[in-house]
Chains A and B, each alone.
Chain A
């Protein structure tokens, strides 16, 4: 069905108006502390993250491929830009955001959304856990070498967040946490770090501006590595979040449209002074939990966020950092997949290693994209290793002891050729050797070369070599003959 047909659009926008607006409000309230906290992670003024969250949410609501998913400034992209901001300043960050958006648009046009199929469940779990740990680590500066009063506030904040829902679920408990802690700190004149100390808050609506950077190739080389990493992480987290929302709501989404939508949002956000962002796992879950399903919920989240910030800026300044840290710890705990720790025992060791490798790589590099690449690499290696075990060579000696028939079955490819070679006994003096490969899959050139080598070696020892079924077997070199495109290909592949 056409994604832009009128009934479809009406359904995605207006199918769920009341619940979408309410959920949008809840999400906006939860977005404020996060947007501020992520700006602080990246080392920029809170307004950069707040403008970004507004603009990304509103644009993705229109352009994205997954209705009901929340996108804004995120921790995953913020941690990538720390060094860029430190060394080159805010203007380079904005330019990097624009370039990252353009890369994402290209990725969407090239339909790279489908590459997600190579990201296994274990890698996703590793990604989520690493993200949760990154969010937690980012809170540490606020927790070390601070007056002990901060800890009291923090514990009070966490208490409110987790216990308030037992009293009522009608208002967001993180909001209650902010309100209570802020009032206490103002009333008692507590000397705590507040949001106002962290930098400038927005006082106006965002305006269009070009990043103030020299438009040279040199600039591009500075920002490109950051842009590429941001684009990759942004797409990964967005597509994963889309998969999670798909799962929760039992509906489907357009992954390539999501890539393009994220790209458009980031490109535009760079021009209004916002930092790059992507979909947010925690916020999207809050949205679904609060009843948000349609595009309207994402749009409302962005709109409410901006209105609240612009009109309540003076109050937002007074929020103690401890309240934000409490909320971020809640997000971190909620994002982490605790069941994955329990599952370490029961799951196959290879998937546990993939998960842990993903987390370790992220913690070492602070780059989620590298973590995912490591995870995918490990999954591929483990997969190849497992498949290579589906391989067997049996042999029968003829009655007169002069001829032997080897029967090769299973998967023959680079990872199994060593086993293949080792299975032949070249020391045996034979007149005739028959190798039956008609029940083997020959996947690549390595295996063809290995067969050739075996034949040559037997000939050197004076045996006459016959290979049975080579033609059928080599038809299974899928790439070469591209038979996977032909009708009945699967039957032929399975038939060997």
Chain B
């Protein structure tokens, strides 16, 4: 059975994450596991005491005080976490998915994903988390780390869910995108949807041949496929294309380069996630 892992944090994206997960689960006939991770960082508490003195039995007193503060916070965030999960489950069940489970975990999101991904076929996460400011167009801090550390396809949910009718594949001929095409052809998640392969770059004979091969692979699987070449910078061209042609989803290979390179010149993937206002399905 196909299982989706939906990561929610109670931010504005949680609803959309659930809707996306439910839509995919319904099409694949699988279950959804909704996971909320309580970050240890959020829990650690700070008593505001700058008196700088240490009295009799200071160590035990301090330990008790800190432990009590942590315990209060932990109980509160557990309660909040359960409430978030219950809401999410109701919403997914209402969308018609039968097999829905929830999980509340402590720790880092990335570690949790690594622990759980073995039993999962696809991970759904919001583009931004509760900690990131929506106005500044910042991406969620955990997003890149989750995508980088996971071996499964990751769906980045946009702010609101819209049923998918047409999807775009950002075709760069790379290994990840070939893998993505294989997955799509095999899984039939997008059966009877319109599909377009878009390659940004110069139209060499080799590139055309490769794209045609992929297109016919998809056609054989029953998709209606169009192909297109466009010159320019991938980030801007694709974003414009998505905007003007009203695609509902984009599929792409992600983070093909090393962390170091991204630090210095930035990542095309991050740029795309930022500039495209639709959900993205990332393959590594």
Contacts and interface: CB of A to CB of B under 8 A. Distances in A.
B115 interface: no
Contact of B62 (A6, A26, A248, A251): A248
Interface string A164-183: 11000111111100000000
A169 B50 CA distance: 5
Contacts of A293: 44, 46
Interface string A4-42: 001100010001000100110011011000000000000
Secondary structure of the A side of the interface?
helix
A331 B53 CA distance: 8
A249 B63 CA distance: 8
A244 to B, nearest CB: 7
Interface string B248-284: 0000000000010001000000000000000000000
Interface string B177-204: 0000000000000000000000000000
Interface in A289-303: 289-291, 293
Nearest to A174: B52
A350 interface: no
A250 interface: yes
Given A248-B62, A285-B59, A333-B56, A15 B50 contact: no
Interface in A269-318: 281-282, 285-286, 288-291, 293
Contact of A170 (B46, B50, B56, B259): B50
B231 interface: no
Q: Which residue, of A1, A288, A293, has the highest number of chain B Cβ atoms within 10 A?
A: A288
B50 A172 contact: yes
Contact size class for B?
20 to 34
Interface string B53-80: 1111111101100110010000000000
B145 interface: yes
B50 A334 contact: no
B41 interface: yes
B269 to A, nearest CB: 17
A290 B52 contact: yes
B57 A339 contact: yes
A247 interface: yes
A211 B56 CA distance: 41
Contacts of B44: 249-251, 293
B49 interface: yes
A286 B60 CA distance: 13
Interface in A307-352: 330-331, 333-335, 337-339
Contacts of A338: 56-57
Which 3 residue pairs are nearest across A and B when measured between Cβ atoms? Answer: A334-B54, A172-B52, A291-B46
30 contacts: A15-B41, A19-B46, A22-B50, A27-B52, A165-B53, A169-B49, A172-B50, A172-B53, A173-B52, A174-B52, A244-B59, A248-B62, A248-B63, A248-B66, A249-B44, A282-B54, A285-B54, A285-B59, A286-B52, A289-B49, A289-B58, A290-B49, A291-B46, A293-B46, A330-B53, A334-B56, A334-B58, A338-B57, A339-B57, A339-B60
Interface of A: 1, 6-7, 11, 15, 19, 22-23, 26-27, 29-30, 161-162, 164-165, 169-175, 244, 247-251, 281-282, 285-286, 288-291, 293, 330-331, 333-335, 337-339
Interface of B: 40-41, 44, 46-60, 62-63, 66-67, 70, 111, 145, 259, 263
